Amino acid sequence: MFKLTASICAFAMLCATAPAISAPNLDTFRKELDTFVETQMHTQKVPGVAIAVLRNGKTVVAKGYGWANVELDVPVTTETMFQSGSVGKMFTAAAVMTAVEQGKMDLNDSVSKYLPDAPASWRPITIRQLLTHTSGLPNAGADFDLRRDYTDDELVKTFYPMTLDFQPGARWSYSNTGYQLLGILVKKATGQSYLDILNTQVFKPLGMKTARAVNDADIVPNRSAGYQLVDGELKNQDWVSMFNPTGTARCICRSTT
């Protein structure tokens, strides 16, 4: 799904840099976009996707493709609610930068400022490095239980024994751990829950009316099912806990409208 999202974004950005789209050209663009998306969905075995293309602040395309629920033949529409997954990291970064602008955090702050009992090896790690995936913190190991409901303290303590992959700032390596920590640190810095921060500082100011936190118990109209590829075959996604949402924003849903 990440590859499909990246491909569509690249396609849309190329169009955004083109001259103004007239009505005939817009029809051509829509046809080309349909062909591109449908080809990529087939190649990458993605069951369904919704896209929106904006130009100069106006929506020129908003459309669903494929299925929101394969078993029940429910099509994707512009109202379909998708779980954000790691796309939610951009919201975490926005929340942190808002706190920085408000003087509640500093990009050069050490993680130890907010986690005094953190390992000595973490002291050089800064907020900036967590944001830019240059902290050296690895992803959680195989013993990390995605089906468990962790408190913030429990989650942090599962990370403490980790050995850094490299010295902070030395290079880049994608880290879910870093963003989970950012979600916890911004809560400590602001005194608000992670989701309250997103609602007040990100979603409402941006007019993201359909963005919301969810859990397994909530009734969410138009929520899509989740899928994964196993040996190239489409399967229902593994169940994971919506535990105390932090910086990876697994629990956030939104539609294209």
User: Which of 7, 22, 86, 175 is the catalytic position?
Assistant: 86
Close Cβ partners of 123 (under 8 Å, ≥ 6 residues apart)? 110, 111, 112
Would you mind telling me the total number of residues written for the chain in this entry? 257
Residue 191 tokens read as 């005194």
Close Cβ partners of 245 (under 8 Å, ≥ 6 residues apart)? 183, 194, 195, 213, 251, 252
Phi and psi angles of residue 227, each rounded to the nearest 5 degrees, phi first: -135, 165
Between the alpha carbon of residue 72 and those of residues 69, 76, 123, 227, the distances in Å are 6, 12, 51, 14
- DSSP three-state, residue 101: helix
> Residue 252: in which H helix or E strand, if any?
strand 252-254
Of 68, 10, 1, which is closest to residue 36 (Cα–Cα)? 10
Neighbours of 129 (CB within 10 A): 23
175 catalytically annotated? no
The catalytic residues are 86
